[in-house]
Each structure stands twice: as structure tokens, then as C-alpha cells.
Amino acid sequence: MTQNQNLFFQKFGITPNDLQRYLGEALSAGGDYADLYFEYLTSTSIRVDESIVKSASQGISAGCGVRVVSGERTGYAYTDDLAAEKILRAARTAALIARGPAKSPVQGFTEHANHQLYPIASPSADADIAAKLELVMRADRSARAYDPRIVQVRAGYFDEIRQILVIGSDGTFATDVQPMARFSVSCVAKSTESSAQGAAGGGGRVGIDFFNTDKTPEHFAQDAARQAIIQLDAREAPAGEMEVVLGPGWPGILLHEAIGHGLEADFNRKGTSAFAGMLGKRVASDKCTVVDNGTLPSRRGSINVDDEGSPTQNTVLIEKGILKGYLSDKLSARLMGVPDTGNGRRESYAHIPMPRMTNTYMLAGDDSPEDIIRSVKRGVYAVNFGGGQVDITNGKFVFSASEAYMIENGQVTAPLKNCTLIGNGPDALTKVSMVGSDLQLDEGVGTCGKDGQSVPVGVGIPTLKLDSMTVGGTAR
Amino acid sequence: MATHTQTVSGTDADLRDLAATVVSRAMKGGATAAEAVVREASEFSAVVRMGEVETLKDSGSRGIGLRAFLGQRAASTYSSDFSEDGIQRLVGGALELARVTSEDAFAGIPEPDQLGSLGDLKLYYDDVYSLPPDERIDYARRAERAALEADPRIKNSDGASFDASTSQKVLANSHGFVGEFRRSSCSVYAAPIAQDANGNMQRDYWFSLSRTMAKLESAESVGREAARRTLRRLGARKIASTKVPIVLDPMVAGSILDNIFDAVNGDAIYRQSSFLMGKLGQKVAAGNITVVDDGTIPGGFGSEPFDGEGIPTRRTVVIENGVFKSYLLNNYTAKKLGLESTGNASRGLAGTPGIGSGNFYLQKGERTPQQIIGDIKQGLYVFQFLGFGVNMVTGDFSRGVSGVWIENGELTYPVEEVTVAGNLKDMLNNISEIGNDLEFRGSTAAPTLRIDGMMVAGE
């Protein structure tokens, strides 16, 4: 028995027989597939603001979502009450999508061995609130000590434990206990002439110890303060097409926006993505190999099983520039006749799963980061980003640099004000001419939004040079 | 789908009692002040694609949130568990957490004489669920069909939908305030995809949102407008970098209003995180600019009879003829800044109240969008912003755009893969024209705006 079974079977008194009955009810009007997603989520957040902890918050949410799939049609209903009659009612509601004779689910469930991607001695959620409070206070002190021009500091600590049970009419039975912890710091700096901000954060599927050993509050605080101070002297960014070098790690948001979303199978099944029909074709320079890997230990974007109960995988999206695969869930795998890559994810029990990214990154190349910068006559070196967005259908994507510098004659020079980079997904990576040997993943801050659903993700790249990209500044 | 989407398990009185009970239990447990919010909601959604039903969703949910104070210390908890055990954890958890947080001189709930409700603001109509299930699906299907039939170049669809929802919110606090209101909404949406001779695709969308079916626009008109918006993007190209006037259509002008809201809200002000900090009473925008927040408009998408702390909502002139007149504040930020709350507390279930807008709009001008465009020799008409490149501390603004090139007062070819950049401080002062086309399609609204002096970055 796993912990989940203990939780849902014991706390809520659900039995394997109940589960069969719920699935039977879900398929009472026919349909190809039905599943139930049980979720029990506890979370804590604590913030320091103006050097005091003004508030702390804790919460619990629980519920069950029932899905019935019939051809390309999906019926969905959920309940936040796990009493049998409420789940049966949700199952009957979802069942109305199908119009036919009742079907029977597979009798008995099969539970496969899960990945064990988050081996945590003591989950953050169990740690004393005072220990979490001390972490945010340390961040506040550290950021303020960094420079007297730091006038405002906010730091926050957030953790959650999501316990899930997924059962499907094909015999799927999967459980997972998914921890998550995240630390964030933002600073405002002021000089007589200007104001600026800086932000940093990170975490993953880690315990509280991570913040005492691997990435300390001081690490995040000083990084946020450093960025704010640098930005005080930033000058206008240039406008127009030029060479762009992306630093390692979080700038991998380029991959997420430029190609990741466009390779989600649902968009391609419907022919709504600029990448539709491009399997086997060149979409990047031959230096580019890009994967989506949900199996990296302790990473924010990693999960043992996806939210349909399928094990996560390491999926090659682009190999030496050639488009190799899409990210799929059960529905798109069945309808497109492709393998299920274990990318069916959802925000919560109240949401229908769909293909989503996990950790999306480019493999390291051979170039030294120093050589990459030296090769640029006039361009932009972008090392930190706010957020990004893509229009899947025409492929246009943007991402906004929060820390960037000019490169002039092979040297990194002045810091630049916030600027947005814009490009076209299907050809942006064809302009990658150098790939560094320094692959890094981001520190664990990414949240991806799609159709109103947010899920945690990771990104990463080595230092990259794009021969041409439009930089959205104001200076000629 | 179920014809009856009544997922409310209790009656109104039950929710009121529950909120009041949670407050009194927190007080009995030692709290010096407490505030509880109970929310119950139901939603229906039908998504159709290429004429076939893609998803149907029909469900309800509820939750409770508690904010408890021990003197000047505060903490909050929330739960979806309404059982005795769940309520006990909710109350016990908040009190326990409040013991470890810091003393904050400004913490607390509003004073009794600040509390109250404006009563019925016509926010709830039970007709949003009145259509039989098949007709709800048909509403979405008709919108999509109207888009697909509008032009042979529209060959695909990202779907069309019909949505309906209702919610009820009860707020109670330890001054004895108990307020409640219901809201309803229904909407229809279509997102067609057009393809040009070279196989390049474009997608756009249109929608109608209403509190009552009686005022929801027809499926056909939404579908046709979605088609028009999509078709005008076909054949879009990049242009060379240039400095020209830009004209924002009302949808993207609304996002500039969102930026103004972020800059005038009390949280950003006291944290020195706003480019408008220290500018109260000064000229911050062109003399023709008046920006108003009004949470009291009957039927408004941003209306509520009281805010997230039980203070009646009101009308606040934020910018008047270009002069910065008022911040938007909740109780905490008002006390912090030595001012009165403007009734703008926003309260979800979790955490401390933030600041939310009511109906937040820029007052309309007198000229039509056609007249505004007609004046421009060379410029860019913008109908989409892409990305989040706005820095609220400095006002620096750089976002991706799609639009149409203006040449000699006429809209010519579509443009994409370019950015526009500037600084919001300058942009607000450089709004040289305001359209007469103010229309609420959400809680924030602006008419067509012309802004001069922005840099367009392209080739």
C-alpha cells in the first residue's frame, strides 16, 4: 500500500470496489475511456515584507474529477466532496458526453512501479513554521545588506504536497505524492536618479533542507539585489535585428515559447500549430537537440506519473535540428496513433488534462561560452527573463529580458533596460550558430499557462548564439 | 449534460451561518478579530470544434477562507472541507499561524462604521442556465459556423465555446458584518483559423460576455467578428524599425489601463514599486485623460456591493484631466499611507486581501476610430500585444505586437513580429487622441487610443 492508498482509502473510506463502481457509472452511456483523478493538496505560504512577516497562510483542497472520452469528445465533471454519492453524480454528469450502450471498465487495476524522482528525507510541509519563517527573514537581511540602495525587499516561501490517485477504465492505477517548495525574492533599488527592480527565486520537488544546503535564502536575495542595482544604470536597449546571445539556464524559456508549445500534440492533431505536418523536417540548426524530460530528479517540472497515471519520459523533440516528436497525452496518442509520452497534465481536479511540457531543454554543444561572446561584433547578451508568450498558430513568440547587456566588439558592456525579444518559432532555432558546453537548467521558478491552466515546468539551455533576432528596444 | 446545474448543497442561510460560525469560533479560540469568506460557484462549459462537441464540463465547488488576528498579528487559512473536522482545522490552523507572524501596526479589519453593502447591483440572473443543454452546445456551434462560413480562407477552427457560471459570496467579520451577493455570467467565444495561399495560418478570436442571456450577443455576430479579426491578419509581414504614431484598438488599449491600475494601487505605492509613486496631485497624463474606477455600476463586470473587507464599493476618479487624483486602496494600504480606503480590497479564499479594480475605465473622447486613423500619414494600428514586457517600477514598456500598417490615413497591410517600446510615463503624456468607442467587455475598458513617439522594432 502506498501513502496515497492510505490517504484516499483510509481518510476518505474509498474502496477498490467503489472505484470500479464509479468507472462503471462513468461508462454507463458508453464511451471509449473513463478516468478519475483524486487530489488532496495542502499548502503553506509565508512572506516577509518591509522586514516583518505580515501574514502566513495555509490551505487544504481536495476533490475528484471524472472524465469520459468518446471519440474526440470529452465529458468532465468534478466534485470537492469525496462522498460516494457526489462522485457518482459527477460520473453520471460526465457520462452524458457519450450516447450509446453501457460499457464495462477493465476489471481490476494494474499499478506499475513508479519513478522515484523526489527522494526527500523530510518534506517541507512537515517542517516547523518557525524554520520557514527564519528562511524568509534571512533573505530580507541578506538583500538589505547587499547595498544601501536596496529600499524594498519582499521574500516568500511556498510549499505544497499534492497527493493524487488516478484510475482509468483501462486498468490504470497510479498514485503519487508530489512535494513542491519554492523561494522567491524581489527587491527595489533607488538612487537619486532612478529606480529599478530585481527578482530571483527557485526550488523544486525538494525538502526544506534544500534551502539550507543547495540554494540558500542568501543566494536568491543577493541575486535579486544584484540585478536591481545593475538595472539602476541600465541604458536604452537597441531596436531592430541583431545577434543575440542567451545565457545558460532560465533563458531556455526561448525553447518553451519558440517550439515547446508548438509541439504539444493537441495543437498538431487539430492542425492549429505552425509546426503541424513538420515531423521529420528541419526546424533548427544541426547543433540543436532539444528534449522534454519529466524524469529529472527533484526538478520543478518533474513528476513520477503524469495526471493521467502514465509514467513520465525523456522525449526527444528535435534531434540535430530535425523535428522528431510531439508531446502527447492519452487522447492525442490514441487519435493520432502516436505513443503517449506521459505529458498529460492538469492544474487540479477541476481541470481536464492536456499535453503539457515538463522540463524542456537543449543538450550541451561544443562551444565555449567565452568564444560565443567574443564572436559577436554588436549584439545583445540576455541572461535573465521575465516571462514569454507564443501565438501557436502563426508561430510568433516573445520573451522579455529583465537582465541584458550590450555586446560590442566581443566584449560585454553596458546593462540594458527591459526589452522584449521577438521571433518566429519554426525558424528561430535555424539561426542558432553556436551552442555552449555549459548546459544549465533554471533554478525552479517556471509556471506555464495554457487554456487557463497553470502547471510547474522547467527549462534550460547552454549559452546560445542566434545570428539574428529582433530586439524590441527604443534606441536606434 | 445535466439540465440543472444546481450544485449548491446548502441554502443561502446555511452559507451565512457557516461564515458567522467560523468567525465566532475563531473569536472563542482567542482571536481578537476575524473575517471569514465563503464562496460557492458552479460552472458549465461547452466547447465545439469543427462542428463537433469537443468538451462538456459541468460542476460546482465551494470553499471557505479565514483571516484571524491576535492583536496586531495576522494569519489566514482556507479549505474546501466543510466537515466539522475541516472547520476545526481551519480555525485552529489560523490561530496557530498567527502566533508566529510579526506585529504589524497597520494590521486589522476595517472599523465598524466603514462596513456596509450597496445591496442589489443587478449582478445575478438565473437565466444563464436557462438554455437546454443541446441549445447551449448549439450556441457555440452557431458561432463557429458563422466564422467558418464567412470566407473560404477560413478552413480550420481552434474551437468555439459557450460558458455559463454563477457564484455566491458571503463575507462575515467579528464586528458582526455579514454581507452576501450572487453573480452570474454567460459568454460565447469563437477562434477561427485562416490560411493564405502560401499555407501560412492566422488565428484570432471574438467573444461576448454578459450577466444575463437576455444581453448576450448573437452567436452569429460573434462568429462573424471573429472571422473579420482573423482575416485581417492574413499575409502579415515584418516592417523596418521606425518611430511612428501607434493607434491601439480598444482591446489592447484596455491592457494599458491594466498597467495604470497596477501603478495606482496602494500596494505598489507603499512598496515604492510604481512609476507613479510620489506623483499624487501632479500631472501624469495628457490633459484629455480621465480614468475612473467605479465598483457601483449596476450589472457591471467589476461591480460588487461591498469589497473584500466589507467596505461598500464606490466611484473614485483616479486621473482627472491628466492629474493624478487618487490611489486605489484597501484597508491596510489606506492605513499605511494615512488615507481612507477606496473600497478596493479584493479577497480570494487564501491569503490577505489584495487590491482589485471595480469597473476601471478611461473616459471616452469624441472622435471615431476612423477619424483618428484618418489623420495619420504613417503609423501602426495595433490589435494584439504579446508578452509581459512592462516594468512597473520604471515604467519601461516593450511588447510584441500585431497590427495593420497605416499609410495616408488608410489601413493597408497587416504587420507582425515587431515590438513597440517606450516608457509608460511618456506614453500616458503622449496619448494624443481618444476614441468615442468605449465599451465594457470585462471589468477594464478603454476606447481607441493614439499614442505618439513610440519605437517600433522590426527588421
pLDDT digits (tens, 9 = 90+) for A151-189: 999 999 999 999 999 999 999 999 999 999 999 999 999
Residues in A closer than 8 angstroms to B44, CB to CB, are none
Is the Cβ of A424 closer than 8 Å to some Cβ of chain B? yes
Residue B132's alpha-carbon distances to B136, B137, B216, in angstroms, are: 7, 9, 16
Query: Is the predicted pLDDT of residue A279 greater than 50, yes or no?
Result: yes
Query: Is the predicted pLDDT of residue B4 greater than 50, yes or no?
Result: no
**What are φ and ψ of residue A129, in 5° steps?**
-60, -30
Report the pLDDT averaged over residues A277-299: 96
Residue A15's alpha-carbon distances to A83, A135, B414, in angstroms, are: 12, 41, 60
Query: Is the predicted pLDDT of residue B6 greater than 80, yes or no?
Result: no
Residues in B closer than 8 angstroms to A274, CB to CB, are 201
Residue B91's alpha-carbon distances to A40, A249, A421, B27, B181, in angstroms, are: 19, 42, 48, 9, 24
pLDDT at B281: 98
Contact between A255 and A228 (Cβ < 8 Å): no
Query: Is the predicted pLDDT of residue B143 greater than 90, yes or no?
Result: yes
Is the Cβ of A121 closer than 8 Å to some Cβ of chain B? no
Report the pLDDT averaged over residues B281-302: 98
Which pLDDT tens digit goes with each residue over B208-226?
Answer: 999 999 999 999 999 999 9
CB contact under 8 A, B394 and A77: no
Percent residues over pLDDT 90 in chain A = 87
Residue A475's alpha-carbon distances to A155, B243, B459, in angstroms, are: 34, 10, 14
Side-chain half-sphere of A99: how many Cα atoms within 13 Å? 3
Query: Is the predicted pLDDT of residue B13 greater than 80, yes or no?
Result: no
The predicted complex's ipTM stands at 0.93
Which residue bears the cell 464599493?
B313
Q: Which residue of A has its CA nearest to B85?
A: A11
Report the pLDDT averaged over residues A83-103: 92
Report the pLDDT averaged over residues B435-456: 97
**pLDDT band at B5; cut points 50, 70, 90:** very low
Work out the angle between the directed axes of helices A16-26 and A84-95 (0-180°, nearest 10).
Answer: 30
Report the pLDDT averaged over residues A40-65: 94
Q: Which residue of A has its CA nearest to B5?
A: A93
Greater confidence (A123 vs A226) lies with A226
Which pLDDT tens digit goes with each residue over A431-443?
Answer: 999 999 999 999 9
Residues in A closer than 8 angstroms to B42, CB to CB, are none
Which pLDDT tens digit goes with each residue over B49-86?
Answer: 999 999 999 998 999 999 999 999 999 999 999 989 99
CA dihedral defined by A246, A252, A254, A257, rounded to 10 degrees? -170
Report the pLDDT averaged over residues B195-207: 95
Give the DSSP letter string of A399-457. EEEEEEEEEETTEEEEEE--EEEEEEHHHHGGGEEEEBS--EE--S--EEEETTEEEE-
**pLDDT band at B3; cut points 50, 70, 90:** very low
pLDDT at B291: 98
Give the DSSP letter string of B398-423. EEEEEEEEEETTEEEEEEEEEEEEEE
Which pLDDT tens digit goes with each residue over B97-107?
Answer: 999 999 999 99
Q: Which of A52, A80, A231 sits opposite B104 (nearest CB)?
A: A52
State how far the Cα of A106 lies from the Cα of A340, in Å rounded to an integer. Answer: 20
State how far the Cα of A75 lies from the Cα of A68, in Å rounded to an integer. Answer: 5
Domain boundaries, chain A: 3-232, 239-472
Is the Cβ of A285 closer than 8 Å to some Cβ of chain B? no
Q: What is the mean pLDDT of chain A?
A: 94
**pLDDT band at A4; cut points 50, 70, 90:** low
Query: Is the predicted pLDDT of residue A3 greater than 60, yes or no?
Result: no
Query: How many angstroms away from the CA of A308 is the closest CA of chain B?
Result: 17
Structural domains present in chain B: 12-230 (3.30.2290.10), 236-459 (no CATH)
**Statement: the pTM of the whole predicted model exceeds 0.90:** yes
pLDDT at A12: 86
CB contact under 8 A, A154 and B271: yes
Which residue bears the cell 466539522?
B84
CA geometry: angle B446, B447, B450, nearest 5 deg: 110
Q: Which residue of B has its CA nearest to A71?
A: B54
- If one counts every other C-beta atom within 10 angstroms of the C-beta of residue B178, the result is 18
**pLDDT band at A8; cut points 50, 70, 90:** confident
- Looking at 3.40.50.10860, 1.10.1040.10, 3.30.2290.10, 3.40.50.150, the CATH number of the domain A3-232 comes to 3.30.2290.10
Query: How many angstroms away from the CA of A254 is the closest CA of chain B?
Result: 12
Residue A44 neighbours by CB under 8 Å, 6+ apart: A56, A57, A58, A124, A125, A129, A132, A157, A158, A159, A160
State how far the Cα of A89 lies from the Cα of B2, in Å rounded to an integer. Answer: 10
